[in-house]
Each structure stands twice: as C-alpha cells, then as structure tokens.
C-alpha cells in the first residue's frame, strides 16, 4: 500500500542530512587545497613495507584486536594497551563513540561552528543535541558547557576555524562534566596544540580521538584511534565486536605501525607544514586577508573587500580548489589547506593577479 507518492516500505527508511565531504577531483592538474591532507608522503618505512608485502597475507582475516598497531600507539603516547582503541579513520571512531556513550536522552553539547559530521551522527543515532555559540572571535565560552547534558564533544583545534583552546579550558569542561563522557577531537593537534591525552589519566570520562589522516600523511589508509580510560575503551570494543570484528585491513595495520615507529620523520614533517603555514600567513596578509591564529594545517581566511564566495568560484574555475562553507557566520571565509610550496605559490600568484586586476 502506498502513502502519498511513497511506497509503504519507503516510510520506514532512516533519513538524515548527510555530511558533505570535500571534493576529490580526478584531474591531477588541479591545485587541491580543500581537504586538509598532508602535502608530504608517509614515512619511507611505509613505502618499504608496501614494496615487500607478500600477497599471502590477504588470504587470512586481519587481527581483530589490531594488537601490533595498538602496541605501537601505546608506546608512542606512554599509555597501556588497554587505553587505546583503533578504528577505520577518526570518523569511524567518533561515530562509534557517539553510538556507545551518548545514550542518556539528554542533549549532547558542541559548538555551533565545528566539524559538520557531529549533527549528522546525532540525527543518524537519534541523539538529541544543542549547539553552543562560539563568541565573536570564534572561541568557546566554557560556561556554556556547565549545564546538564548527555555528553560533550569539542574539536581542538577546531575545524573549520583552526583555533586551539588551551588545556586549562579543556580540563575545565571535563571537570564540570564528570557524569557524562567528554570527547576531544584532536585531528589537527600536532600542528600547534598540546594534546589532552595526559588528562585521560585523571578523568575516566575523557576520550581523546586522533587520526592518521593529517600529521601522519595517511588519509588514504583510513586509520583513527582513541585514548581514554580502560572503561571507555572496553565499552568501545564491546560495541565494535557487536557488529564488525575486522575493522582495519592487514595493510593498514602493518603500515600504521611502521608510520608510528618513525618518530623522527613524524616531527620533521610537522615542522615542514608549520613553516609552510607561516609562509602562507605572510603571503595572505599582504594580499589583504585576515584570519585567526592557526594551530592546524589550514588557514581560515576572509578578505577585507572581496567576498569569499566570489573568490571560491573564481579559484575553482581556474583549477584551484579551496573549501567554502555557505553557512551562517562563516559564509565569508575560505578554508585553505597548507599544500606544497609550489601549490601555495600557484594560489598566491593567482590571487595577486586577480585582486590587482579587480582593483583596476
């Protein structure tokens, strides 16, 4: 039996407004500065591993506990294995954390300007939520998170604003919410912030989530992880094993472990990106852009006289991709990923030409 224009079964489909990811163009000539990938490759140890892989490993299921990668991450961060959870990118880890911890029926709290996947997961899992307004400088007002809630999630540094909140701000929020789980999403923390991971030893309700997609140059491999109390990690694993035991494939486990082992390369690569970010800040300032101090591998920039949408469209038509959000309060900003020096110069040279021609 049909209801209106829908067939009966269509009325029972779960419908959500999906997250819209940044474009992944196939044209290699495009200057791609829209998805915050690392401009430098993973550790050379990862390449050597891939060159010497035996295809025989694909005959067997991967280790469901991912012990090799869990052990390396535990060593890197100085925590016990029982405090580490690994998933298929940080989106998978965060989604599983929403499903696991946000079940009280009370609203989950997060900023009004932040990673746009948070409301998608809330709608998907039917979790009530309330957004808390950032102030005029895009900073968190800690008092907004003192009220009763069913959980808190904060991206730090925030996306898309690039702003990092000091650890005393994060600890204040965690300390005021001991009866709910607080998740700190640290996808960009290696580029300019201090991680909240040390706080997990003092607060068993704190979960810190990170990713291999940014500072570890492995967005295409899809590896994310969380660090928290043994109770939180056990709960995540219980949910994981209830519907998908084999989350990471064999190659991801092996390559991820190699990437974590190469500490020197990790820190050298971060420093390269930071220097490129500083160069980008200088060039953008000269071109008439304003932006908050970035602690990420991107800049959140607005021009003093030319609207962001105009710049986005003209850049796109000239094969330079940046990210534009047609959303309240941020519709006059561009999010510009830090690319190679060559990519950044193409962006700046084009902007210089376009802006000077527009003024004449």
CATH assignment of the domain containing 305: 3.90.1150.10
The domain of 332 spans 22-41+264-359
Report, as an integer, the average pLDDT of 208-220: 98
Kindly report which listed range (9-18, 63-72, 281-290, 331-340) carries the lowest average pLDDT score: 9-18
Structure confidence by residue, pLDDT tens digits, 313-346: 999 999 999 999 999 999 999 999 999 999 999 9
pTM of the complete model: 0.95
Omega before 314 cis (within 30°)? no
Query: Are 112 and 133 in contact, with CB atoms under 8 Å apart?
Result: yes
Residue 360 has pLDDT above 70, yes or no: no
Residue 312 has pLDDT above 90, yes or no: yes
Residues 239 and 289 in one domain: no
Q: What is the pLDDT of residues 194-203, one digit of tens each?
A: 999 999 999 9
Average pLDDT over residues 73-97: 97
pLDDT of 230 higher than 60: yes
Taking the C-alpha atoms of residue 121 and residue 282, their distance in angstroms, rounded to an integer, is 38
Residue 2 has pLDDT above 60, yes or no: no
Q: Which long-range contacts (CB under 8 A, 24 or more apart) does 22-31 make?
A: 22/321, 22/323, 23/321, 25/321, 27/319, 29/319, 30/319, 30/320, 30/321, 31/319, 31/320, 31/321, 31/339, 31/343, 31/346, 31/347
pLDDT at 244 over 90: no
Do residues 95 and 217 share a domain?
A: yes
Q: What is the pLDDT averaged over residues 132-139?
A: 98
% of the chain beyond a pLDDT of 90: 90
At 243, the pLDDT band (50, 70, 90 cuts) reads: confident
pLDDT at 8: 86
What residues have CB less than 8 Å from 94, skipping those under 6 apart?
117, 121, 153, 183, 185, 209, 224
Short-list 101, 71, 95, CA closest to 84 = 71
Model confidence pLDDT, tens digit, residues 83-92: 999 999 999 9
Picking from 261, 292, 326, the residue at the C-terminal end of a domain is 261
**What is the three-class DSSP state of 157?**
coil
CA distance 226 to 233: 8
- Last residue in a domain, options 261, 292, 317: 261
Same domain, 130 and 211: yes
Q: Is the same domain home to 210 and 286?
A: no
In sign, the C-alpha dihedral spanning 44, 45, 48, 54 is: negative
Give the pLDDT confidence of 100-124 residue by residue, as tens digits. Answer: 999 999 999 999 999 999 999 999 9
The span from the CA of 149 to the CA of 305, in Å, is: 41
CB neighbours of 195 closer than 8 A, spacing ≥ 6? 186, 189, 208, 210
Pairing mode of beta strands 224-228, 84-87: antiparallel
Does residue 234 contact residue 29 with C-beta atoms inside 8 Å? no
Mean pLDDT of the chain: 95
Q: What is the pLDDT of residue 1?
A: 43
- Indicate whether 30 and 74 sit together in one domain: no
Let me know whether 134 and 218 are in one domain.
yes
How many distinct structural domains can be found in the chain?
A: 2
């Amino acid at each position: 039996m049909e209801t209106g224009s829908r067939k009966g079964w269509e009325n029972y489909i779960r419908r959500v407004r999906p997250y819209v990811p940044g474009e992944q163009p196939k044209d290699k000539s495009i200057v791609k500065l829209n998805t915050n990938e690392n401009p430098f490759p993973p550790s050379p140890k990862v390449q050597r591993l891939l060159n010497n892989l035996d295809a025989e490993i694909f005959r067997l299921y991967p280790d469901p506990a991912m012990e090799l990668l869990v052990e390396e991450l535990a060593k890197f961060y100085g925590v016990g294995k029982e405090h580490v959870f690994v998933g298929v990118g940080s989106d998978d880890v965060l989604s599983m954390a929403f499903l696991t911890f946000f079940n009280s029926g009370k609203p989950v709290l997060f900023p009004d300007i932040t990673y746009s996947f948070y409301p998608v997961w809330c709608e998907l899992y039917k979790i009530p939520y309330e957004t808390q307004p950032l102030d005029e400088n895009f900073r968190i007002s800690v008092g907004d998170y003192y009220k009763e809630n069913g959980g808190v999630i904060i991206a730090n540094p925030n996306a898309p604003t690039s702003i990092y909140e000091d650890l005393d701000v994060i600890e204040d929020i965690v300390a005021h919410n001991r009866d709910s789980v607080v998740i700190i999403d640290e996808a960009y923390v290696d580029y300019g912030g201090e991680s909240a991971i040390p706080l997990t030893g003092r607060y068993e309700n704190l979960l810190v989530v990170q990713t291999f997609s940014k500072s570890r140059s492995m967005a295409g491999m899809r590896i994310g992880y969380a660090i928290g109390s043994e109770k939180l990690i056990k709960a995540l694993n219980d949910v994981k094993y209830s519907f998908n035991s084999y989350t990471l494939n064999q190659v991801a486990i092996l390559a991820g472990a190699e990437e974590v082992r190469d500490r020197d390369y990790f820190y050298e690569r971060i420093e390269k990106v930071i220097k490129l970010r500083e160069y980008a800040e200088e060039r953008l300032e000269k071109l008439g852009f304003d932006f908050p101090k970035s602690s990420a591998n991107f800049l959140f920039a607005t021009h003093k006289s030319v609207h962001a949408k105009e710049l986005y469209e003209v850049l796109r038509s000239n094969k330079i991709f940046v990210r534009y959000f047609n959303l309240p309060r941020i519709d006059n900003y561009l999010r510009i990923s830090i690319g190679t020096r060559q990519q950044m110069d193409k962006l700046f040279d084009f902007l210089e030409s376009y802006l000077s021609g527009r003024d004449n």
